[in-house]
Structure 1
Amino acid sequence: MAKTSGSDARALIHSLYSAYGATPTNLKIIDLYVIFAILTAAVQVIYMGIVGTFPFNSFLSGVLSCVGTAVLAVCLRIQVNKENKEFKDLAPERAFADFVLCNLVLHLVIMNFLG
């Protein structure tokens, strides 16, 4: 097996960075939103590990809310991406309206789960 050198890793990171530089701004904003939602879920899991699991329904509701929102945002990103030929006839406004409606339903279910 050949060893990978540090220059190969730097070349890979540079190519990924330059390819992501061509991404439209609206997709980058959605990416930041997804990262924020996942980090919020991670903070909740770490907090639960430190403090304890007493109101377990609250913990589950918070984590599922963050993960569900991240999944819906990824779906929004797929639909809004201009390079995706599958959703070329779908208007970005319609995709955002679907995202908002699905988030509303998700959070109504989450609030119902809290009791």
Structure 2
Amino acid sequence: MLLPFQRGPFRGRTSVSLTLISRFVEEYRSSTPNKLKVIDAYLLYILLTGVFQFLYCVLVGTFPFNSFLSGFIACVGSFILAVCLRIQINPQNKRDFLTVSPERAFADFLFAHTVLHLVVVNFVG
């Protein structure tokens, strides 16, 4: 018995897609350093938090608008800072950041994160 995605024009595309996804996951697990995997997990958490806040805003409302805006800005800012950290400590980008050590990149991340959250708390009031 064929499943619905195994019939018609999508028959070959599904197997190619599944092969592509499984190869991506396999290469990610084998070649990505653990430091980057931790940052990727943090990025996924921030992304899901931002999506949840946006869905809450759409479905329920934005009664304390400053609180919603502060939380959403904190999510977007944290995501951007974490992406910058990931780019700086990625071993493949080492030649682009010769003067920045991973420790320095993490210290910059912590400093920028602190400033971001001070601004967010100040915005809430």
More moved, 53-62 vs 39-48 = 39-48
Counterpart residue number, 1:50: 59
| Partner Cα separation in structure 2 for residue 73 and residue 83 of structure 1 | 17
Secondary structure of the corresponding residue to residue 53 of structure 1: coil
Cα distance, 1:7 vs. partner?
2.0
The alpha-carbon deviation at position 50 of structure 1 amounts to 2.6
The farther-off stretch of 37-46 and 96-105 is 37-46
What is the aligned-residue RMSD (CA, Å)?
Answer: 1.6
- Residue correspondences, number: 114
Task: Report the secondary structure of 2:91's partner residue.
Answer: coil
Structure 1 contact 65–106 (Cα < 8 Å) conserved: yes
Residue 79 in structure 1 maps to residue 83 in structure 2: no
Q: Which residue does 1:106 correspond to in 2?
A: 116
The structure-2 alpha-carbon separation of the partners of 1:88 and 1:11, relative to structure 1 and needing over 3 Å to count, comes to farther
**In the alignment, which residue of structure 1 is the partner of 2:4?**
none
Instruction: Give % identity.
Output: 50
SS of 1:105 mapped into structure 2: helix
1:5 Cα deviation after fit: 2.1
Q: TM-score, normalised by structure 2?
A: 0.84
Question: Whole-Å Cα distance in 1 between the matches of residues 37 and 60 of structure 2?
Answer: 34
Among 10, 13, 18, the alignment partner of 1:5 is: 13
- 2-side partners of 1:34 and 1:45: how far apart? 16
Q: What pairs with 1:24-39 in structure 2 (closer than 5 Å)?
A: 24-39=33-48
Equivalent residue for 1:89, pick from 76, 79, 99? 99
Unaligned runs of 5+ in 1: none
Query: What TM-score, normalized by structure 1, do the two folds share?
Result: 0.91
Q: Secondary structure at the match of 1:90?
A: coil
Unaligned runs of 5+ in 2: 1-8
